[in-house]
């Protein structure tokens, strides 16, 4: 493909009789889009679906005659934006492919990004996730959409709504990449799957999913784990029932719930899911997420067991991985729940929904333990104590457990990191009004990796060195399976893969103004939460009973 400025290249010809681009699995449209001297883009659009089809896996491919043009890049699935404004298109299952414009003779490594957004918002487009920096480092970048909210994650255990339609969209996108990315200069045998927040949770599930076997060869998990309480519906029928109550109905019958919800518009369903009465932004009882699917004849499941059981058994896709988190993940969510100041915290409000207590005594003693550990000696800065608890409970501890289980069960390298850089474009921290605080909030690293089309930043704020460092680490991993194959002025520290062993925390790369290494986790924090989960981790998830009895880090 030529990279010279001028007219765009002609659209690719696609027909059901022509064995070329995307004919076998493209749900609808495929064409080249001219972008700039750096990048070409292509977009894949799916067949539209109604709500009744929307809770199932993606529909079969659409066949056509002649040429179709895909020219709308900024398409997102239905979601709430501001207040009660719902945006997005039902025909949203699209992906964007970014390729280097310079000629290349060998197929390039491919990086497929799954966006975050708590499974109710976001899109895999250049609105936030422009892939410019990645393709400049010699990879093919793919950003994907997947269904959100009720359409993506209603889980009733019936054929009409088996669950995890959003994850199945991701699997369909990966299958498209496998079958078609060579036409864009990509290597289908060298696919790195990566995601942040809900995108990391999704990637974590796909590691354990039989449906995704063979579709990727490396994984990067940024600030998300399938073992996090917010990454799984603890009781899918209860979740659906809570949404139905927003419309005045009270039932726990799956078919009745389906009939109630299928009569509602996407706008009504989205507004019901994000009811403002819920205080805890990350664990509200109407939030939808992946679930453990009930076996249904003829229906391919994305999640067949609890990921704790699956990973511990070793029955997952073993690939090299990068796993990490930001040091102050909780800032973004604490700001939504409490603002920037808090005088007093009720520890009972902070008990995770994936903890189940046999009685009030155990519940009270656990709340008291949290009070003593996180709040007893930090009255002068209570809000940061809440940030610390949110960071540990919802992000760090789940990632630690997942990383340790991989280290125990896989012979392949696992690279661990902590991102704590604070610069001009730590935008989530600044928007949360914690700009003067040290470290990095949830999602702060993203603006050192992506070039958002929605708000171009002045050149002096681009933090060029950190952007080059982050993108080089990630693309080195995609190219070589090693983020630091050799030392350089940009990467003066060799990032060693983690090694299993409980004598001490594995070493992690600390990404800050200067690179360094340090233990991945605080042993005291891990011990506290490991002890708590060993005793009180929820055992029942709808039809599924958790098999694993002991603490993951025993």
Q: How far apart are CA 395 and CA 510, in angstroms?
A: 16
Record the pTM: 0.90
DSSP secondary structure letter of residue 161: B
> What Rg, from alpha-carbon coordinates, does the chain have?
23
In this structure, the dihedral spanned by the alpha carbons of residues 148, 151, 154 and 158, taken in order and rounded to 10 degrees, is -150
The CATH number of 106-134+148-242+287-545 is: 3.40.50.1820
**391 — phi, psi (to 5°)?**
-60, -45
Q: How far apart are CA 124 and CA 288, in angstroms?
A: 19
3-state secondary structure of 509: strand
Exactly one of 197, 202, 209, 441 is catalytic; name it: 197
Query: CB under 8 Å to 234, separation ≥6 — which residues?
Result: 353, 354, 538, 541
121 has catalytic annotation: no
Exactly one of 329, 388, 404, 463 is catalytic; name it: 329
Query: CB under 8 Å to 75, separation ≥6 — which residues?
Result: 43, 45, 89, 91, 92, 94, 123, 125, 145
Quickly list DSSP for 61-121.
PPP-SS-----------SEE-STT-EE--SS---EEEEEESS--SSPEEEEEEE--STTTS
Q: How far apart are CA 482 and CA 457, in angstroms?
A: 31
Q: Which one, of 524, 482, 158, 168, lies nearest residue 322 by Cα? A: 482
Per-residue pLDDT of the chain (554 residues; tens, 9 = 90+): 333 333 333 333 222 222 333 322 233 333 333 333 233 344 343 333 333 355 788 865 565 566 656 667 789 999 998 878 999 998 899 889 999 987 778 999 999 999 999 999 999 999 999 999 999 999 999 999 999 999 999 999 999 999 999 999 999 999 999 998 998 999 999 999 999 999 999 999 999 999 999 999 999 999 999 999 999 999 999 999 999 999 999 999 999 999 999 999 999 999 998 654 446 778 777 789 999 999 999 999 999 999 999 999 999 999 999 999 999 999 999 999 999 998 888 888 889 989 999 999 999 999 999 999 999 876 668 999 999 999 999 999 999 999 999 999 999 999 999 999 999 999 999 999 999 999 999 999 999 999 999 887 765 567 999 999 999 999 999 999 999 999 999 999 999 998 765 445 788 999 999 999 999 888 999 999 999 999 999 988 877 877 765 445 55
197 has catalytic annotation: yes
**Residue 211 and residue 168 in contact, taking contact as beta carbons nearer than 8 Å:** yes
DSSP secondary structure letter of residue 316: S
Domain limits, the chain: 106-134+148-242+287-545
């Amino acid at each position: 493909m030529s990279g010279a400025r001028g007219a765009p290249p002609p659209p690719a010809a696609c027909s059901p009789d022509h064995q070329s681009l995307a004919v076998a699995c493209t749900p609808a449209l495929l064409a080249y889009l001219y972008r700039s001297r750096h990048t070409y883009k292509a977009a894949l659009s799916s067949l539209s679906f109604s709500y009744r089809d929307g809770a199932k896996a993606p529909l079969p491919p659409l066949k056509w005659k002649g040429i179709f043009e895909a020219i709308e890049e900024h398409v997102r699935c239905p979601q709430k934006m501001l207040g009660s404004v719902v945006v997005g298109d039902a025909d949203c299952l699209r992906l964007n492919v970014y390729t280097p414009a310079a000629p290349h003779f060998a197929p390039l490594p491919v990086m497929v990004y799954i966006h975050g957004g708590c499974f109710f918002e976001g899109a895999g487009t250049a609105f936030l996730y422009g892939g410019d920096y990645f393709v400049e480092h010699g990879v093919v970048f793919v950003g994907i959409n997947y269904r959100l909210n009720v359409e993506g994650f209603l889980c009733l255990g019936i054929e009409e709504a088996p669950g995890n339609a959003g994850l199945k969209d991701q699997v369909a996108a990966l299958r498209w990449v496998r079958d078609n990315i060579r036409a864009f200069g990509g290597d289908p045998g060298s696919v790195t799957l990566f995601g942040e927040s809900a995108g990391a949770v999704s990637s974590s599930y796909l590691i354990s999913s039989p449906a995704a076997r063979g579709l990727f060869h490396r994984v990067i998990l940024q600030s998300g784990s399938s073992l996090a309480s917010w990454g799984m519906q603890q009781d899918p029928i209860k979740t659906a029932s809570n949404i139905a109550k927003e419309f005045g109905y009270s039932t726990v019958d799956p078919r009745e719930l389906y009939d109630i919800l299928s009569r509602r518009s996407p706008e009504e369903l989205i507004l019901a899911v994000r009811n403002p009465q819920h205080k805890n932004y990350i664990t509200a009882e109407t939030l939808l997420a992946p679930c453990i699917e009930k076996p249904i004849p003829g229906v391919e499941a994305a999640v067949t067991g609890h990921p704790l059981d699956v990973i511990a058994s070793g029955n997952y896709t073993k690939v090299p991985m990068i796993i990490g988190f930001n040091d102050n993940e909780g800032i973004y969510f604490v700001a939504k729940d409490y603002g920037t100041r808090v005088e007093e915290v009720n520890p009972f409000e902070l008990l995770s929904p994936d903890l189940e207590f046999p009685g009030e005594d155990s519940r009270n003693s656990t709340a008291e333990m949290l009070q003593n550990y996180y709040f007893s000696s930090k009255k002068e800065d209570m809000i940061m104590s809440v940030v610390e608890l949110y960071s540990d409970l919802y992000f760090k501890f789940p990632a630690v457990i997942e990383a340790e289980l991989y280290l125990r069960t896989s012979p392949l390298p696992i690279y661990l990191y902590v991102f704590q850089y604070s610069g001009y474009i730590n935008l989530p921290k600044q928007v949360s009004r914690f700009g003067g605080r040290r470290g990095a909030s949830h999602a702060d690293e993203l603006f050192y990796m992506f070039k958002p089309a929605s708000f171009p930043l002045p050149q002096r704020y681009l933090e060029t060195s950190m952007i080059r460092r982050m993108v080089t680490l990630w693309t080195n991993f995609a190219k070589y399976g090693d983020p630091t194959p050799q030392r350089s002025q940009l990467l003066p520290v060799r990032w060693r893969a983690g090694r299993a062993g409980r004598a001490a925390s594995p070493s992690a790369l600390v990404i800050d103004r200067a690179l360094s290494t340090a233990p991945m986790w605080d042993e005291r924090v891990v011990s506290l939460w490991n002890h708590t989960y060993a005793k009180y981790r929820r055992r029942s998830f709808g039809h599924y009973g958790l098999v694993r009895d002991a603490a993951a880090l025993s």
